[in-house]
Chain A
């Protein structure tokens, strides 16, 4: 592999990294963030760096930009940018390169933009920082850039503040800023991870268009093989700070050599057009029946007029049979999370009914509903925020049952048994949440929800924050639990691929309404609603109807 790298003629390489090693401070999990990594970004190509969280891919990007935090040191290696070695370069010289020769797009476009400056002012600032042109030429150039990234009405957009823009529009502004000085190398650090699928598809399209038009070289960091399949020319696979495999996109995706790459590719969820087999002896009496459920948020102040209302959930109705899973999919703002919280009464509904085992819980007061709470449990999205950082796992698991009158010894024994059941060792009982990885924490969250032996589980984006390989394990665990306990599930997700893996039926939500409902085979292979078709088409790396380019289904 090394030999093939060195064979490339130097003028064809925009960015070349050789034997880069970055140390981590003492007391961390490992001694190096990245160790002895080498790769080349060829001129006019898109290089995808893929790896799971903690693989060192973002550290690599920051090292190239000279933006490493102070505690993390670049200890050895060479980074050649357009023939110049930037390792050990003075901060002034490096600053001069940033933006002009190499620039970067960040993952979260909201926190990367200054909320107090207009979009135009921020783009001007980039140019002004490098002494480019007069205010008038800067303004013209900024409007040109806003046009180029496909923002509507660029003249008006120039005077907008970031909070008025949607996530996709903000990311377009970030791209405009990064392009302001026509850099030859663009580094994109998970630029589409925080976006909806349809927006992600647009942004990927935009990056590819601009790259082709300008002949730019792009280093694209991602954790999603679907994205790789969409845009990459070549791929570098990283694991725990090492490059385990690199090559052309075709080669890595179709015939991965390293076992880690094979595992990653195998773990990518795919659209399955197949429905799950119906469990035998399933009763047809629905455990949950939702009728015309409505939730309206009121913003602003009634006192001073200007009250705004947003209908988050609008006349939603569905049924769920025992032991079955209903997937609720939709983009952000579609009301799917509000729906989940209404079902478990963490939010109060404004109309309609929720019939749980024949009893309308929508109208019950909190005090009346509390005895029923054990029967409906929830698995939360964020495995970091959903466990109290100051409580031991044992406390987290037993506090609910204790409050409902279970004796401590019994609660403790059941908690230990459940922890073992979800794949954690018995020692986990006395430890704190921060001692566990994201996947382990999500297992704790699942075990907590199972302590009561609930009839209905609501999983709100339960795997969205996890790496693909962990995602696959958690989905397997949920499937296994459902088969063992016969619990019904409402599985809320923005990821159609995940939904297709685990759901018996899928409801597609758009602006508070269910626009289509049906088994996965219908939703993915023969979608009826225009919106569903749009969603399915936007899934990266999949061509519905055939196996898609990521073929290695191990």
Chain B
């Protein structure tokens, strides 16, 4: 009994280790820095710039970048591209973030119940997931966006409804393997209710894959919003989004290429950054190679 107080590691040791591993992942750190920078710019930037995003200056149409105080030039109506880009970023990032939250919630709920209950409940839920997956999601998005009034909230909901299936599948697989673990049996032995076991005992153990999947969902949601806005069914002008800025730029590709390049670059940076963070989290939270 002398060994009983020995080898007590500091509390929350595993989490610190995950954090350390994430910090060693250079690309993930770069991604995190870029996202923080983009978010801060979108929140604070519009207050610091001299022009409002809706201010039309017909004398200054098609000004190339670095003309006076138009750091990123102006668009066909003489509106400041920098101001529009940052206002658009607010919309695009918010749509991406909330679409992720919503789709993760739906996916997790469906996945946990399907994975834990199994049997016909699980089969029904997972066949529903398969059904959703078998739709080409872009067409579904366009059809829904055409039928419903495209406000940012509606776009968010539509994107979430077409992207929760992946989370559901990941969670279902994870829960199905966790369900067989002895601590779940122990929960049943103690007489805990099914809901308690699902959401209080099993779910915390599945958080790793869920976090990774949701990070990647943000990236996809931003891309999707850009798609549908580019095609004209998404966020409607004059409200700017990165997608509809691209839409407005396509007829001037030859004469004013910056109009397309700048929002395009913003989308690329945001999406790759989120993907880098996702990769880093996947490496950091994967404890399977951790048996020492």
Residues of chain A at the chain B interface (Cβ within 8 Å): 25, 28-29, 71, 341, 344, 346, 370-371, 373-374, 377-378, 380-382, 385-391, 399-400, 403-404, 423-425, 430-432, 434-437, 439-440, 445, 448-449, 452, 473
Contact (Cβ within 8 A) A380 B8: no
Within 8 A of A (CB), among B1-20: 1, 3-9, 11-14
Q: Which residues of A contact B185 (CB under 8 A)?
A: 341, 346, 378, 380, 386
Q: Which residues of A contact B5 (CB under 8 A)?
A: 425
Contact (Cβ within 8 A) B183 A387: yes
Q: Which residue on chain B has the smallest CB distance to residue A378?
A: B189
What is the distance, in angstroms, from A118's C-beta to the closest C-beta of chain B? 28
Contact (Cβ within 8 A) B190 A400: yes
Contact (Cβ within 8 A) A434 B192: no
In the complex with contacts A346-B185, A385-B181, A404-B8 CB distance below 8 A? no
Choice from A378, A403, A424, A448 contacting B192 with Cβ under 8 Å = A403
Choice from A390, A403, A424, A430 contacting B193 with Cβ under 8 Å = A403
Contact (Cβ within 8 A) A28 B292: yes
Number of A-B contacts (CB under 8 A): 94
In the complex with contacts A388-B201, A435-B11, A370-B191 CB distance below 8 A? yes
Contact (Cβ within 8 A) A380 B191: no
Contact (Cβ within 8 A) A344 B205: no
Contact (Cβ within 8 A) A425 B4: yes
Which secondary structure characterizes the binding site on chain B?
helix
Choice from B6, B7, B182, B189 contacting A382 with Cβ under 8 Å = B182
Q: Would you call B68 an interface residue if the criterion is a C-beta within 8 Å of the partner chain's C-beta atoms?
A: no
Contact (Cβ within 8 A) A435 B9: yes
**Which 3 pairs between the two chains have the least Cβ-Cβ distance?**
A400-B190, A373-B191, A386-B182
In the complex with contacts A386-B182, A390-B205, A440-B9 CB distance below 8 A? no
Q: Would you call B196 an interface residue if the criterion is a C-beta within 8 Å of the partner chain's C-beta atoms?
A: yes
What is the distance, in angstroms, from B171's C-beta to the closest C-beta of chain A? 15
Choice from A25, A29, A373, A385 contacting B190 with Cβ under 8 Å = A373
Contact (Cβ within 8 A) A403 B191: yes
Q: Which residues of A contact B190 (CB under 8 A)?
A: 373-374, 377, 399-400, 403, 448, 452
Q: Which residue on chain B has the smallest CB distance to residue A24?
A: B292
Q: Which residue on chain A has the smallest CB distance to residue B1?
A: A423
Cα distance, A262 to B166, chains bound together (Å): 58
Q: Which residues of A contact B196 (CB under 8 A)?
A: 399, 403
Interface-centre pick from A71, A404, A435, A473 (highest chain B CB count, 10 A): A435
Contact (Cβ within 8 A) A431 B192: no
Contact (Cβ within 8 A) B182 A380: yes
Q: Would you call B149 an interface residue if the criterion is a C-beta within 8 Å of the partner chain's C-beta atoms?
A: no
Q: Which residues of B contact A382 (CB under 8 A)?
A: 182
Choice from B12, B14, B186 contacting A386 with Cβ under 8 Å = B186
For this complex, 12 residue pairs linking A to B, each with C-beta atoms less than 8 Å apart, are A25-B292, A371-B191, A374-B191, A380-B182, A385-B182, A386-B181, A388-B205, A404-B191, A430-B11, A435-B8, A436-B8, A448-B186
Q: Which residues of A contact B21 (CB under 8 A)?
A: none
Q: Which residues of B contact A399 (CB under 8 A)?
A: 187, 190, 192, 196, 200
Contact (Cβ within 8 A) B188 A346: yes
Cα distance, A71 to B8, chains bound together (Å): 22
Q: Which residues of B contact A28 (CB under 8 A)?
A: 292
Q: Which residues of A contact B3 (CB under 8 A)?
A: 437, 439
Cα distance, A439 to B1, chains bound together (Å): 10
Contact (Cβ within 8 A) B4 A389: no
Cα distance, A493 to B154, chains bound together (Å): 60
What is the distance, in angstroms, from A280's C-beta to the closest C-beta of chain B? 30
Q: Which residues of A contact B205 (CB under 8 A)?
A: 388-390
What is the distance, in angstroms, from A487's C-beta to the closest C-beta of chain B? 15
Q: Would you call B238 an interface residue if the criterion is a C-beta within 8 Å of the partner chain's C-beta atoms?
A: no
Encoded as 1 (CB less than 8 Å from any A CB) or 0, chain B from 153 to 193 comes to 00000000000000000000000000001110111111111
Q: Which residue on chain B has the smallest CB distance to residue A392?
A: B11
Cα distance, A184 to B206, chains bound together (Å): 48
